[in-house]
Structures are given as C-alpha cells and as structure tokens.
Structure 1
Amino acid sequence: MAQKAQKTQATRNSATLNRTHLISLGVYLSFLLIRTIFFSRRLLPFALLNLPALAIEFWFERIGRPVYTETANGKELQKAGEALDAKGLTEWMWDVVYWSWGNTVLAALLGNWAWWLYAVVPLYSAWLAFSTYSGVRSGFSGMSAGAGGEGSGGAAAQSKRQAKLEKKGGQRMQYR
C-alpha cells in the first residue's frame, strides 16, 4: 500500500470539492431562479458579497484538487493536494463560504434586507479584537504590580497553598 495516506487525502479532497461545487451551484441557481420567477432581488449585492466565497472556492480547487499522471500502469497520484480540513486560516475560509451560502439563501427567501447580515462578521471581528486587546492590556498591567509590589494594595499576594499553610498555623512567611 504505497502512499495510502496520500491516496486517502486525495479521495477526501475530491469528494469535498465536488460536494462544495454542487452546493454552490444549487444555492446560486436557486437564488437566481427565485429572483427571476417570484421576487425582484438585487443582483449587485449578490455578486459583490458572494465574490469572496467564489474566490475561496476557486482557491480550494487550486490547492486541494489531486493531480494524477498517466503512466503505462494507469493513473498514478502525483500530488494529493493540501488538507482542506486543516485548522486556522483554512477553517476560517470555510466559515466565509458557509456564511455566504446562508446569507444568499436568506436573501432569496426573506428579501434584500438579509444582505445586511454580512455586517455581523466585521462587527464580531471588531468585538473579538477589542476584547483580546483589553485582556492583553490588563494582563500587562498585572505584571507591573507583581514586580515592585506596589500595585497590590500593600501586601504581597499569596498563593492558595501559602494561605492554607498559614491558616493551619504551619509555615509562616514573613513579608518585608
């Protein structure tokens, strides 16, 4: 079984990419069909707001599609492609694709105002950045209090173990 892991990766990537393309085609065609037959929906927000999802989908196609070469023995796997279920940036890019599909379906069913749901992503990102910045800033301010002992209200902070030992009357620490 030569290259079993790569063959498994190639099979998984092909299935994921094919499923992704079919879902995209279904979502976009249903939006256009509903727009044409039943309601009047604007095409400019549809085109602009689905552009990132389409770009990500084509990027996944480029990096994730396995490459085979023809040999005398048949097809041979040359490159399995990158893992499309990786953590980090790839995971975030899948979230963008899913969010775009969801908003497109909601816009098709509920109306043009549903395009405003895209504003949730930047607002959430801004809130996350602010809360991270606040946490880091408060963490740095706590570091300066421990260095000189000035920021803790006069007495040095005790660990739980030290407090229990002093409460039992065991080892006592002298603070200067």
Structure 2
Amino acid sequence: MAQKAKKDRAKSNAATLTNLHIGALIVNAVFLLFYIVFRSRSIVAWLLLSTPAFLCQFMIERAGRPTFDAQTGALRSSGEDLAAAGLTEYMFDVVWVTWGVEILVVLFGNKLWFLWAIVPAYGAYKGYGLLGSARQMMGGMGGAGSGADGGAAAQPAPNRRQRRAA
C-alpha cells in the first residue's frame, strides 16, 4: 500500500511540475515578446524581479521531481510532497505573484512592478509571526524560575490525588 502512495505522489508531483514549467514558459515568453516588439517595458526590472521566481521553480523542481531507476524504470524516490504547507507553499506563492505582476506590467505599464513588493512584505509578516511564536515558546521555558515569586512557579502541578485531597 505504501508503494501505491509513492506512485500517486510521484504522478501528482510530475503533473504539478509540468504545469509549473508550462506556465512559466507562457508568462515569460509573453513578456519577452512584448518587450521585443514594443520595448516599452523594463527588461532590467524583469530580470531582477523574476530571479526569485526562477530560483523558487528550481528549488521546487529539485525537491519534487520523482526519480526512477535508469535500468529497471522502477520508482526510486517520489520526491517531496509539493502540496505541503509551509516553505513549499510560499515558493509557489512567489512564483504566482511574479507571474501576475508580469502580466499586469505587460498590460498596464512598468509602474506595476511595485506590486511585487507584496512578496517580501508577506514574507516579513510570516517571519514576524514565527519569531513571535518562538519568543513565546522560549519565554515559557526560560522564565519558569525567574519570576518575582522566588521560584514558586517552578514547582510541579499537583497530581489528581493531591487535588482531590485539597
């Protein structure tokens, strides 16, 4: 049964990566074609702001591409789950926001490159939330015996029998 799950994940990852690469090809080809024909959009901004999306696509490809044995064709590794939450999800968000901004720049002009600032702003927001959670966890562990009550909070909670007797 576990082998079926690996095969399903490999098939899902392969389809996701194919769609990702086709989407990247289409969006970037449209931008470059528009640039070649009209030369009214900034190629420097495109190179600078598309680089994170290209790096994310590369990382997603490396992590999610299933590998097969060259001689037998058997599945060697199904790759990481590309539908997982967390960093993988954020990398997909970077790619999609970049594509959206590229299309908007083609349609409405170079000033819309500033919309790409959503990506680092969202990353900073998530990082700040993660930092706050880490501080709470560390505060709960490190501050147990250092309160104003002289370490009374460090005593273990009474068990059920002691609570009943009290």
TM-score, length-normalised on structure 1?
A: 0.68
Tell me the C-alpha RMSD between the 2 structures: 2.6
Query: Could you tell me how far apart the structure 2 residues matched to 1:43 and 1:77 are?
Result: 41
Could you tell me how far 1:123 is from its partner in structure 2? 3.8
* Cα distance change on mapping 1:14 and 1:117 into 2, 3 Å: same
Per the TM alignment, residue 127 of structure 1 is displaced from its structure 2 partner at its CA by 5.7
What letter corresponds to residue 62 of structure 1 in structure 2?
R
Q: Which runs of 5+ in 1 are unaligned?
A: 141-146, 149-176
Q: Counterpart in 2 of 1:155? A: none
Q: What is residue 159 of structure 2 aligned with on the other side?
A: none
In 2, Cα distance between the equivalents of 1:75 and 1:120? 43
**1:1-176 map, 5 Å:** 3-71=3-71, 74-126=72-124, 129=128
Q: Could you tell me how far apart the structure 1 residues matched to 2:125 and 2:5 are?
A: 40
Percent of aligned pairs sharing the same letter: 41
- One-letter amino acid matched to 1:105: I
Aligned equivalents of 2:80, 2:92: Cα separation in 1: 14
The code of the aligned residue for 2:19 comes to: R
Q: Which residue of 2 aligns with 1:161?
A: none
Q: What's the CA shift string for 1:106-165, capped at 9, x where partnerless? A: 1111111010111233345556638x86xx89xx9xxxxxx99xxxxxxxxxxxxxxxxx
> Unmatched 5+ residue regions in structure 2?
140-146, 149-166
Larger radius of gyration, structure 1 or 2?
A: 1
SS at match of 2:69: strand
What TM-score, normalized by structure 2, do the two folds share?
A: 0.72
Segments ≥4 residues shifted beyond 6 Å: none
Matched residues, number: 137
